[in-house]
Structure 1
């Protein structure tokens, strides 16, 4: 595989100027259009792949061919999803190649902070419910024709065993009481297996960084659609538990019409995932910054009333 070049501010500025001109965004911009817009990396690290361009655009550079394929698919998928969701999605104003064979897209910037910067309000939970509802209503067959892959549900019992081993390592580091995981018994993992039924479109990356949240707690937009799959909607409930907390995630899923089983399945997917993530992070294997991993652990393990009132023997109508 050819090594992707490391983008610099000068090369990104020239590329952005060209894309803005081709996309019509450079007309009437005067000196800025001539000199090029202000650019700066959106994330740290060597060879950043995402750059802010001025105040209104974001430029994403695919580092390899596979990422470029996902980015191209994402542009079409966003247009498919847009009519079904109540939140903003970025719009690509121009795209092309930033290096031979490497795709790039210049997108509109959705104004607002992130889910890590602002807490989601009760009205914001309704926004998330609308997002989950829209994902369920999006046409799966059309998404498949765009190349969105089908992914089978994860076996919760396998994840529970792995999380148990991670919990023991976290106990040695005084990070977690492994007895808390005893709530998820092997029979419970059977009860919380993914139910048969039509698969739905799953965003599959509803992290705090991909939620655009305003200062008043409204969810104004959602980013990161290149990871979307067709599969288990509990995965998005799990991601929201890590991003906004278990109670808010379950309330949003309930508003979206999901019953007890998918809500609790998502909750336990999140709780197992955060144990594995923090254990990996403490081992120095790059699962993310430790403060963020600890915050996700705290969010996922917030208690919810649904755990106390649900009797699976009586089905989902307990809600």
Structure 2
């Protein structure tokens, strides 16, 4: 198999010069920190160049360009626009996108109006026709098992407790019956961004969410995954309020909350053990965000204390009661 070329500054500069026609020198180019493998570059102050490093990434990028056009009319926030796209090497694509003005979620706190922007994002994703997304090749993703994730999180919580990073007792309310209560519901498949990290949320200085980046990993699946990602990025209260404004009831909100909490434990424990990815400050920040208390927990009873595992019908009624309380 032929090894894919590694993009260099000279490669990027020649490509950009041919696209922007800004004279012999052209704009400054520099790799985006943390993009990995020099796959993403700043081009001057107005553009971002993304280079697919392999053929699989090229397929995702081609689909992403079409997908962004599909979702744009449904969303109240900006989606990047490609001003040029093609191949930077045989079979490997690029897209030169106009930069969406603003900072990132770690740089600016999301305001109440920003939460409304996030609600519009979640609502818009739900409104994208599933068949049209499938026609573009967007894959389906099965809902994750909360019971499997809870077991992994329990082990991670104990390891973090031994390292004085987390009080493992905080996970105790999330019992096996609670995972059954919060199982994904059939027929709930929507377009899921699957990458709503703080770096992909463009936030202005006034706390408004102005745009969303990173559309290469979109799937059709469980909307609680995006709620979970927002909990890690902007905090559990803001994420749940946004999901509630978007029309989601208690069950998907709480499912997203516990997905985020379990993920935060597993990812931090793995990173401390020398596995996994991400910086420790970012992972600790995600853990703090995900474990912020929310009002919904106080009005929703997870029926996990019964010796016989609880009654599924009663559990469903609890979730419905919480929907009414909202």
TM-score, length basis structure 2: 0.92
Q: CA deviation at 1:116?
A: 1.2
Show CA shifts across 1:54-111 (max 9, x none): 1111000111100111111000000000000000011111111112221111111101
CA distance in 1, matches of 2:276, 2:47: 29
Give 1:82-97 correspondences, 5 Å limit: 82-97=72-87
In structure 2, the residue matched to 1:23 is none
User: Structure 2, unaligned stretches of length 5 or more?
Assistant: 302-314
Is 1:69 aligned to 2:59, yes or no?
A: yes
CA distance in 1, matches of 2:36, 2:102: 26
Unpaired segments ≥5 residues, structure 1: 21-25, 27-31
Task: Kindly indicate whether residue 144 of structure 2 is the aligned counterpart of residue 148 of structure 1.
Answer: no
2:150 is matched with which residue?
Answer: 160
Distance in 2, Cα, partners of 1:283 & 1:96:
41
C-alpha separation between the residues in 1 aligned to 2:228 and 2:192? Answer: 11
Using the alignment, how far apart are the partners of 2:9 and 2:159 within structure 1? 43
Aligned residues: 309
Work out which of the residue numbers 175, 187, 197 in structure 1 matches 2:165. 175
Distance 1:82 1:45, change over 3 A: closer
Answer yes or no: is the 8 Å Cα contact 1:246–1:304 preserved in 2: yes
1:307 counterpart (297, 301, 307): 297
Deviation at 1:46, TM superposition (A): 6.6
Residue 37 of structure 1 is matched in structure 2 by 27
CA distance in 2 between counterparts of 1:136 and 1:33 reads 45
* Post-superposition CA distance 1:245-268 (Å, at most 9, x none): 000000000000000000000000
1:7 aligns with 2:15: no
2:188/2:223 contact within 8 Å kept? no
Paired position in structure 1 for 2:325: 318
1:134 aligned to 2:124?
yes
Cα pair 2:197 2:233 within 8 Å, conserved: yes
Cα offset for 1:5?
A: 2.1
CA contact (8 A) 2:267 2:276 kept: no
Cα shift readout 1:22-64 (whole Å, capped 9, x = no counterpart): xxxx3xxxxx433222111112477310001111110001111
Cα distance in 2 for partners of 1:182, 1:211 equals 32
2:225 is aligned, of 207, 216, 235, to 235
Q: Is the 8 A contact 1:121 1:218 kept in 2?
A: yes
Asked if structure 1 preserves the Cα contact closer than 8 Å seen for 2:201 and 2:213, the reply is yes
- Runs of 4+ in structure 1 over 6 Å off: none
Look up the SS of the partner of 1:154 in the other structure: coil
- Cα offsets for 1:157-194 (capped at 9, x unmatched): 11000110111111111111111111111111111001
Decide whether the 8 Å contact of 1:260 with 1:318 is kept in 2.
no
Find the residue that maps to 2:23 and give its secondary structure: helix
Query: 2:188·2:222 contact (CA, 8 Å) conserved in 1?
Result: no
Q: Give the RMSD, CA atoms, in angstroms.
A: 1.2
